[in-house]
Amino acid sequence: MMLRRVRVFSHPNSLLVGHVRNLLEGAGIPCDLRNWILAGGMGDLAPIDCEPELWVMPEDEARARVVIDQWRQGAEAVVSPGARLLRGWRCQHCGEWHDDHFDTCWQCGLERPDP
């Protein structure tokens, strides 16, 4: 029997999808990654059908959307009681958001500024 899942994120950039997957799993939200290797099918398949996607259980959807929205807004907030804080920094050059443990912007290569 297949358990029902809800798609919470998709994007043509697989690195970005992988980053969001790490955010969700770091917040204690298990997710399924789908279409990870379908990029080779573009041309025969519509590009939107080949985008990597993240799916979660229905009971995790609301929390997953909070994590994704916070990431998109660059906000720092607690996801749930006892969860770790989502901390990070925004690149001063390109505006890309990074988790706190990264010291170099993956987008443009600029070093993290001193606090």
pTM: 0.56
pLDDT in tens, 49-96: 668 899 999 999 999 999 998 888 774 444 444 454 456 777 787 777
Quick one: tokens of 29? 């939200």
Model confidence at 46: pLDDT above 80: no
Quick one: tokens of 58? 């229905």
